[in-house]
Structure 1
Amino acid sequence: MTEHLQTPEHQLTRTPPSDEEMSFDGLRLVALPAGRCEVDVAMAHHAINIPLAAAPARMAVNSDKLSDWDIPNGGLSYFASGTDFKIRITNPAPQIILEVSDARMTEWMDWAGDGVLPSRTFLDWMPDPDADALARRALSLLARPEQASRLEFEALCLGLADRAVARFRRESTSYVSSRAAACSRDISRAIEWAEAHLHERSLSVSQMAAAAGLSASRFNEVFRAATSETPYAFVIRRRAERAVDMLRENQLSIAQIAFKCGFSSQSHIGSVFRRRYGETPADIRRSNLSR
């Protein structure tokens, strides 16, 4: 069934504000809550959308005609800047939206070798398990913004952007790998810089990229191709390894070690240890003392 809307022409605008959102340097991560949602916007920014539950919707893209859509669980969609978007939906679970400025999207698309997609481009939802997992991490992050680091925020945004850019990337994996090899010295500089700044909670992907002389999006891609892990995963791994060494070598409190290794709190280092080692910092210290 198609429904015609008679709506006046409206100016470019953004995703409605939410109680759970974070913004930084051309990026805005938003969790739209579950419940009834009626949106009528002309996108002022590029937007990447991942619903966390399937739902039927009435929707129109670059048209005044609302039609029936089935929005899939964990699907990823992309709305280019300027897209005229209307939706009427009752969300059974939150939706994650990443808004990206024109400058940021141009940077990412240039690295992908495609250039920016034309204004008003819409890419329909397609299942993407990786994007779904990142969106669920984003939901957890937005629920505790006071504990989130810039590094974690950037890593999530870059991960979601990578999944979106992959939808329309034309370059091959071998091309990315060859560019990564050419940038190996740049990556080495970034690693050396990160090792010297692991204790700084403000450490960010952008700072590591600057040390390598690369843009943040290009650095994220090249780093992963060269090391088989993201910059965020590298930093967390090295902080955890440094903390293990300190637990075994000195009598500082766990809270002091967490601070010296760049973790946001004692609970943060505890959750990282449980995921990585299946033990708490206190468990590792006790096992070392018993030897």
Structure 2
Amino acid sequence: MNRQVIIDTDPGLDDAVAILFALGSGRFDILGLTTVAGNIGLERSTRNAGGLLALAGRGDIPVIAGAAEAMLRTNIDALVVHGSDGLRGVTLPDPVSPAKDDAVTWLADTLRSAPIGSIDLLALGPLTNIGKLINDHPDAAARIGRLIAMGGAINEPGNAGPASEFNFASDPEATAIVFRAALKTTIIPLDVTRRLRADVAYVDGLRGTLLGDTAADLLIAYMTDGKVSRPLHDPCVMLLALAPDLFDIEMHRLSVDLRDGPDAGTLTKREAGQPVAIAMRVQAQRALDLLASGFR
């Protein structure tokens, strides 16, 4: 039986590829997509999530709009990477039905209605919705099976600040709340996601199905700045959920920089920090093969 999951997301090019893989692989029982502002703002993230479901013929999966703003900060975005539409011009069908509102309440109700530990949360964007869930509904948050989140940088340079990664820099307070909670959390930092890269030859090999063609179009759009390859940040979450043996996981105590400025969201190993499971290495070729298999 496929594992039940909720995908918390801000699509976004690599988010979109991750969601298409989850839809096409037949390996996930997706209960819903909750959206967060993240890469491109909440309205567009929510519309893109609905469009991906419509493309896959999965209008039965609900989209629930979540946080439009970080918990305590002014939003940042990644329009320079993803474009104003989040997809750099790749067209999706219109959503089949309007998105629901109040992702945090929906998450709490869904978790409470299922056996404890039976639903995993796959987080592809800033952790604002999950931080609010922990604050407002701690009993429901405690029912999460696994939380797998793309975010952070350990030994790698950052992509939002000198050592800060975009998702965690977007809402450091939410990240700190998640780390402090007694959840089974695994993070996948830039140290791993930058090792899983798609070049043009790999992208061409995804084509041949509707979802594969769309994933390829998204990744080609991701390369329009002249890059010869691009890191597959968010697909790593789905791959770890399916095949944790492809990743080397280490436990470290981490603190989150909550100051203002370019270091906000930076992770630091400290004895006084919170214990967090971190994916530190990946068997890249096997992971790429698994990803491609979801589009065949």
Note whether the superposition's TM-score is higher than 0.5: no
TM-score computed with the length of structure 1 as normaliser:
0.24
The structure richer in helix per residue is 1
TM-score computed with the length of structure 2 as normaliser:
0.24
Using CA pairs under 8 Å that are at least 6 residues apart, name the structure with larger relative contact order, 1 or 2. Answer: 2
